[in-house]
Amino acid sequence: MRVERAYRGLPLWLARDYLIELGGESESNDGVRGENWRVTLCEGEPIAIGALRIGQIQIIFEGDDATLARVVSAFEKKALRAGG
């Protein structure tokens, strides 16, 4: 199974830290691997809203269905950030 998601306002380094907290090991700057799953991280073009620029990352989750359901759900809970 393969799941692709885009996240705005979440730095790549923090996404990698979250994935490591979920049991993954860093393979490189753009890859994290866990048991039965692998994630590729890519920085995207920032979104411009007037003078404001918001960073964007692309994350590709790969693995078996049951494992990815758990990993993606747990990651999205960590990635949910309240504005202030």
Residue spans of the domains in the chain: they are: 2-79
pLDDT score of 84: 40
What confidence tens digit (pLDDT) does each residue in 8-36 have? 999 999 999 999 999 999 998 899 999 99
Region of 15 on the Ramachandran plot (φ > 0 left; ψ -120 to 50 alpha; else beta):
alpha
Handedness of CA 15, 21, 36, 27 (dihedral sign): positive
Phi first, then psi: what are they for 2, rounded to 5°?
-135, 130
Given a cut of 80, whether residue 78 has pLDDT beyond it is yes
Mean confidence (pLDDT) of the chain = 93
Q: Which of 67, 9, 81, 78 is nearest to 39 (CA)?
A: 67
d(CA 41, CA 43): 7
The token duo for 57 is: 């990352």
Fold of 2-79: Ribosomal Protein S8; Chain: A, domain 1 (3.30.1370)
pLDDT score of 28: 85
